[in-house]
């Protein structure tokens, strides 16, 4: 007789990891071999069935006609992820993947369909900068820096999981014409403030587009299994995450509670709840947000932050550090019988 435990479906491990501009020299900060030695053990430790990666740069092929993910392929070589199904953001030029900061979703499960969304559901707002030099004569669209990537995964038994891979704008001032002295310094406080304002619009706009996508999903299937995963560059009390989560306390309507997402990492002790260290302050910037139905599958959460270094202090102290300054986050889901 088969025992109940033997018949229990295998857990599904879903993970997110910002690989911190994975690339090859001369653009990389160190050799690819050094990065492989640092990153491959972290990836193996995840034992992920679904792995969402951010900041994966594209490399030109020999004749310079197209970009591929050769650096990522080298990191994954010899690991289970090498054979996983793959969804990835594409270059707007049609020449392979993007130059920088591709999103990549690797899945043990078949991918039924995948696509990227970039100002398709939410039109870029128009804004005229007050501090630009020369002055802007007309409002210009404030477009998001990058898309989000969704993939529909076939879990078997007629179940589909929608995984949304995101990398939201960091809270760093955006470009304002004529207001920067160099890459790191500004000519005026009003110029910096306007750039920071534009950055908040971009991050909130990306989040709004994700939320719009989610509600279209829930319109079609109220009990959809959805995970929004990635580098949000904000914690779950800040606007971008709040927009995507759609908490019932924010909407004030209990009838909308089934549409909110829940941060899986809330299951971690507060002392362990951080995926980056910024100027000495632990901060949860990377999240796994689960729909109400998927939350019922949640077993446990891990954040592999034991060896994490300060993302501001460490680059200044260590040249060519091969690690990522983000910790991977994993949620283990147990499918019901």
Range of the domain at 146: 11-333
CA dist 210 and 268 (Å) reads: 25
CATH at 241: 3.60.10.10
Within a domain: 298: yes
Q: Within its chain, how far is the Cα of 176 from the centroid?
A: 25
| Owner of token pair 């090859």 | 24
67-82 pLDDT tens trace: 999 999 999 999 999 9
What pLDDT, on a 0 to 100 scale, did the predictor assign at position 7? 66
Within a domain: 170: yes
108-135 pLDDT tens trace: 999 999 999 999 999 999 999 999 999 9
Closest CA to 262 of 325, 214, 205: 214
Closest CA to 285 of 226, 325, 331: 325
Is residue 300 within a helix (H) or strand (E), and if so which, with residue range? Answer: strand 298-303
What pLDDT, on a 0 to 100 scale, did the predictor assign at position 4? 47
Pairing verdict, β 85-88 and 67-68? unpaired
Within a domain: 6: no
| Owner of token pair 């997402």 | 261
266-309 pLDDT tens trace: 999 999 999 999 999 999 999 999 999 999 999 999 999 999 99
The tally of domains found in the chain comes to 1
What pLDDT, on a 0 to 100 scale, did the predictor assign at position 137? 92
Within a domain: 201: yes
The residue count of the chain comes to: 337
Closest CA to 193 of 209, 212, 171, 213: 171
Within a domain: 2: no
Closest CA to 72 of 95, 56, 87: 56
Pairing verdict, β 298-303 and 329-333? antiparallel
Within a domain: 3: no
Within a domain: 121: yes
Average pLDDT in the chain? 95
Q: Is the pTM of this model over 0.85?
A: yes
Pairing verdict, β 281-283 and 276-278? antiparallel
CA dist 248 and 257 (Å) reads: 5
Of residues 102 and 26, the one with the higher pLDDT is: 102
Q: Do 287 and 232 touch, CB atoms closer than 8 A?
A: yes
* Helix boundaries (H) for 182-302: 189-220, 239-245, 248-251, 292-295
Within a domain: 144: yes
Structure token digits, residue 214: 């989610």
């Amino acid at each position: 007789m088969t025992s109940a435990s033997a018949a229990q479906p295998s857990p599904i491990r879903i993970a997110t990891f910002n690989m911190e501009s994975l690339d090859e020299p001369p653009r990389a900060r160190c050799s690819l071999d050094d990065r492989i030695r640092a990153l491959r053990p972290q990836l193996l430790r995840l034992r992920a069935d679904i792995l969402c990666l951010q900041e994966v740069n594209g490399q030109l092929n020999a004749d310079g006609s197209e970009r591929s993910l050769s650096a990522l392929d080298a990191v994954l070589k010899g690991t289970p992820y090498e054979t996983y199904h793959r969804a990835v953001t594409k270059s707007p030029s049609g020449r392979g993947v993007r130059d920088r900061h591709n999103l990549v979703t690797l899945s043990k499960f078949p991918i039924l369909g995948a696509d990227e969304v970039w100002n398709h559901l939410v039109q870029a707002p128009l804004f005229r900068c007050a501090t630009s030099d020369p002055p802007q004569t007309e409002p210009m669209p404030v477009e998001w820096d990058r898309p989000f990537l969704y993939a529909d995964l076939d879990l078997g038994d007629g179940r589909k999981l929608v995984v949304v891979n995101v990398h939201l704008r960091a809270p760093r001032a955006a470009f304002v014409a004529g207001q920067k002295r160099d890459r790191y310094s500004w000519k005026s406080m009003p110029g910096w403030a306007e750039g920071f304002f534009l950055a908040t619009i971009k991050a909130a706009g990306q989040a709004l587009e994700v939320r719009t996508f989610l509600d279209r999903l829930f319109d079609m299937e109220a009990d959809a299994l959805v995970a929004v995963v990635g580098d949000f560059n904000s914690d779950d009390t800040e606007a971008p995450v709040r927009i995507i989560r759609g908490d019932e306390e924010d909407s004030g309507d209990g009838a909308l509670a089934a549409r909110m997402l829940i941060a899986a990492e809330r299951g971690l002790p507060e002392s362990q709840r951080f995926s980056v260290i910024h100027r000495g302050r632990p901060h949860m910037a990377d999240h796994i947000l689960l729909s109400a139905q998927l939350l019922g599958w949640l077993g446990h959460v891990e954040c592999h932050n034991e060896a994490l270094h300060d993302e501001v202090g460490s680059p200044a102290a260590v040249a060519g550090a091969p690690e990522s300054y983000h910790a991977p986050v994993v949620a283990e889901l147990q499918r019901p019988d």
